[in-house]
Amino acid sequence: MATEPATTRRGELPPELDDPLFRQAIGQFDGALPNAGIDPFVAEVLRYPERALSVSIPVRLDDGSLGIYPGYRVQHSSVLGPTKGGIRYDKAVTLGECAALAMWMTWKCALLRLPYGGAKGGVRCNPRNLSLGERERLTRRFTAELLPIIGPQRDIPAPDMATDEQTMAWMMDTYSMQVGHAVPEIVTGKPLSVGGSILRPEATGIGVVMVVEEAVRRLGTSLESSSCVVQGYGKVGAVAAHELAVRGARVVGVSDIAGGVHDERGLDLKALDQWRDEHEGIAGFPGSQDVSNAELLELPCDVLVLAATENQVTGANAANLQTKLVAEGANGPTSLEGDEILGERGIPVLPDILTNAGGVAVSYFEWVQDIQRLFWGPDEIRSRLADLMGDALSRVWDLSQSEGLPFRRAALVTSIREVAEALEARGIHP
């Protein structure tokens, strides 16, 4: 009598992970495997997350009622060290989305040669509808639910979409109360007062621009002669936009979730920040034209920075982009179809696992400083960040040239080889 196989058949996705973003991550992984040339069994191990926790978080709401929120933490690979990755609060959080983001974190850490594997977590909620008190209770209870699987040598959370320094301070405090003493190294992206690092809040945006500036130079132009559009004027995008302007680029368009603004002469970003703070958004900024997010992506420019969210450049709009270079500040902003169309059109894409890795790089510095109880100054951190980003870009660029691969493929191949080599050396226990 035929029986069901006990394990997932090779190449098949377990139903609980069958999510569009996880399929995108797996599609990229499968695409890179022929070039990576690793052992097929090792590849099969790396296809799936090592561990996933699903929790239900009860929260006492301000009106006295009780809300129950689904939360997840996925650890993709601990081959290279403790796992590392952000926590996001968003309406779209699913187990599969966390699994995709955790896998990308593994590749990102390996690409930068950080002693970490990848993880990601999140709570499915609408953060805009939660008061500060509700967010604190949600964060503390979520942290308590995560206690069995997190730890400074096991899994170290960080901020992501709609979570911030305050969220990390609550997580650090909740964990520390359980063990009986302060443990700053349990999370990164904390306020300076509880062991945070200088430059961590700006690190992702600055890292994006370090990669873009070097790529533009290698492509034979300069930031001074470049016009740039930035989608997503948040923690990553706003810093990247300012850093681009500081380095001489003309930032002609930026957007947030409500839409964007465009000024061909270059936006005055300081005035825009003031306008945003006074009007709770950037729309209507004097001297600029309002544009939708769809229109913003199709504006003519030299560099398009995607710093909002996933799945923004797709089969539906990739043919209409009028940029010479795409830089992925967000995770997964280009779908598989979008990527293919950009490739056919000869528009290079600086991939997320390289371009936005500045955040996890300075998170690593924060963790090292916390463990040592010895803190570094801004010049040391900026110079170490520049070294890591520059070295990763060089290795990706060289592989791309020597094996004729697009940058995303070259970055993935580099990362996959790093992790596979370590997994082969360690072997499978028992």
Neighbour count for residue 126 (Cβ, 10 Å): 11
Where on the phi/psi map is residue 281: left (φ > 0), alpha (ψ -120 to 50), or beta?
A: left
Q: How many residues does the chain have?
A: 430
Kindly state whether residue 24 participates in binding ligand NAD, applying the rule CB under 6 A: no
Residues paired with 323 in a beta bridge: 301
Question: Smallest distance from the beta carbon of 316 to ligand NAD, in angstroms?
Answer: 14
Nearer to ligand NAD, 72 or 233 (CB): 233
Does 59 sit near ligand NAD (CB under 6 A)?
no
Stretch touching ligand NAD by CB under 6 A, among 137-145, 243-251, 302-310, 316-324: 302-310
Does residue 120 carry a catalytic annotation? yes
Does residue 89 interact with ligand NAD by CB under 6 A? no
| Tokens at 244, concatenated | 């681009």
Catalytic residue among 84, 91, 108, 120: 120
Q: Minimum distance from CB of 379 to ligand NAD (Å)?
A: 21
Does residue 263 interact with ligand NAD by CB under 6 A? no
Which one of 229, 245, 251, 307 is in contact with ligand NAD (CB under 6 A)? 307
151 vs 234, which CB is nearer to ligand NAD? 234
Q: According to the binding rule CB under 6 A, does residue 233 interact with ligand NAD?
A: yes
Of 58-66, 71-79, 229-237, 315-323, the window that binds ligand NAD (rule: CB under 6 A) is 229-237
Helices (H) and strands (E) in the chain, counts: 14, 12
- Residue 284: left if φ>0, alpha if ψ -120 to 50, beta else—which one? left
Tokens of 234: 């948040």
Given a contact cutoff of 8 angstroms between Cβ atoms, the answer to whether 402 and 388 are in contact is: no
* DSSP H helical ranges for 15-159: 20-36, 40-47, 95-111, 132-146
Which of 75, 227, 356, 415: binder of ligand NAD (CB under 6 A)? 356
| 329 binds ligand NAD, rule: CB under 6 A | yes
**Interface with ligand NAD includes 174 (CB under 6 A)?**
no
Please choose, from the candidates 379, 338, 384, the residue with its C-alpha nearest in 3D space to the C-alpha of residue 361.
Answer: 384
| 7's tokens | 């394990």
Q: Which residues are paired to 89 by β-bridges?
A: 123
Q: Report the distance separating Cα 330 and Cα 237, nearest Å.
A: 9
Among 105, 209, 330, 381, binds ligand NAD (CB under 6 A): 330
How many Å apart are CA 302 and CA 390, to the nearest integer?
21
Residue nearest to ligand NAD (CB): 234
- Reading the block at residue 380, the tokens are 């040391």
Is residue 204 part of the contact set for ligand NAD (CB under 6 A)? yes
213 token code pair: 């500036």
Q: How many residues sit close enough to ligand NAD to count as binding (CB under 6 A)?
A: 24
Of residues 257 and 316, the one with the C-beta less far from ligand NAD: 257
Q: Is residue 191 part of the contact set for ligand NAD (CB under 6 A)? A: no
Q: With binding defined as CB under 6 A, does residue 395 bind ligand NAD?
A: no
Residue 130 φ then ψ, to 5° = -100, 135
The answer to whether 232 contacts ligand NAD (rule: CB under 6 A) is yes
Radius of gyration in angstroms for the set of CA atoms belonging to the chain, rounded to a whole number: 21
Q: Which stretch binds ligand NAD (CB under 6 A): 12-20, 169-177, 251-259, 392-400?
A: 251-259
Binding site for ligand NAD (CB under 6 A): 159-162, 204, 231-237, 255-257, 293, 307-309, 329-331, 356, 359
